[in-house]
A and B are shown apart, each in its own frame.
Chain A
């Protein structure tokens, strides 16, 4: 019983801050509302004994939102003061679609006769996760890691306007790169 009450409270926080993301008047508040939503979901994961993944979710998402806030302000430049803002299009259709999707999903969740639980969770879930990653599910992780690496490279290629010829000169012969901001290494 207690767990249901706690879960409902956390769920309410997650949903309310999720809604707040698109309702508040400042970029910073929107971003941190999303962060709160993620932290609430992380806490829910903790309630399912998923210690590792719950804490990792909180860690990753707070980090992501801290960076995201910068992008929000960089590209949308909003002041900390609360300027009324709304930049939506197709508001009505978006709302209709979202509500429709919710009714469909919630209906499925409530009406489908879910099967009985098979098996029981391992005693130490973190250990079982580690064994799965390094054992039977190793292939998954082996696939994820090059994808992540490719993402880093691709994102840098997309976002970085300056190639090595801009930095090192046409003949790549400069002793130090011509950067707008000097780095810490005398390369």
Chain B
């Protein structure tokens, strides 16, 4: 019955390239948005991620006084690693690298890894501003994590399975976004939040001179920036699998549909982010726990009741 099957492990080599390309497309779009706001040409915006990569490859890495270099470097490389591990369970069309039975929990465990990684980036530099960035991220993470978990649970309840391919298959008739819009929205916001992006980028905010990014330069900085885009991309791709029917769509092959939907969602994240003021963790916490959590729980309850009634 299931149309999704694990592919030859050799494809592991291709997954980072695909992830990198989609993430690069996201970065280019961000460049275009910025260029448009500054009245520059679209081409210059599109080229900006390439320029940034070239610049950072040429830049020297910095160290600070009495930094915990080991933990710092682990943190800097960590975001990319987490994003790559996430790709393992994301189906592209009918292919997936590892269709493990608890794919959804796997994704969740990895986005908890982001807590540790971001905090390590902030801590390692031994600088007040980057540490403040690390603390901010944890404060934000405590706010978004529980709503995120229930948002992940909702499609799982409907699909009777933690396996991502089962969740995609369960959407044959109706995409989950239609009857669990709250879970979808909360999931999307959490994706933006754990990528510390847009309105949830307080950990790297301008008010603390870039926060976790304050002291990093060169390759380290490149890895962190790339990691943020990669996390945003994997989050979008996972949302496509969980809520938007995976590769389902007319005419085009299913893998192309997955990529198209992912790009579309990624573009939405990026464009909308520029239009919203930043949400500080001290403001977010109360809203997330007092309003967000009950709403998601009601959504889960609704889905559970529907599933139970339908049998």
Contact = CB atoms under 8 A, between A and B. Distances in A.
A and B touch in the complex (CB under 8 A): yes
Interface of A: 26, 28-29, 32, 35, 51-52, 55-56, 58-59, 62-63, 65-67, 69-70, 79-82, 124, 126, 181-185
A145 B165 CA distance: 31
Interface string B153-189: 0000000001000000000000000000000000000
Given A35-B116, A70-B138, A59 B67 contact: no
A32 B68 CA distance: 13
A63 B68 contact: no
B109 interface: yes
7 contacts: A28-B120, A52-B101, A56-B105, A58-B109, A80-B124, A182-B283, A183-B282
A79 B66 contact: yes
Interface of B: 66-68, 70-71, 100-102, 105-106, 108-109, 112-113, 115-116, 119-120, 123-126, 135, 138, 141-142, 145, 162, 282-287, 290-291
Given A35-B116, A80-B123, A62 B109 contact: yes
Contact of B68 (A35, A55, A82): A82
A32 B119 CA distance: 11
Contacts of B138: 66-67, 70
B135 A81 contact: no
Given A29-B70, A182-B282, A184-B283, 13 more contacts: A28-B120, A29-B68, A63-B115, A63-B145, A66-B138, A67-B138, A70-B138, A80-B126, A81-B67, A82-B68, A183-B285, A183-B287, A184-B286
Nearest to B100: A51
Nearest to A54: B102
Nearest to A59: B109
B65 to A, nearest CB: 8
Contacts of A65: 116
Contacts of A181: 282
Contacts of B124: 80
Contacts of A79: 66, 126
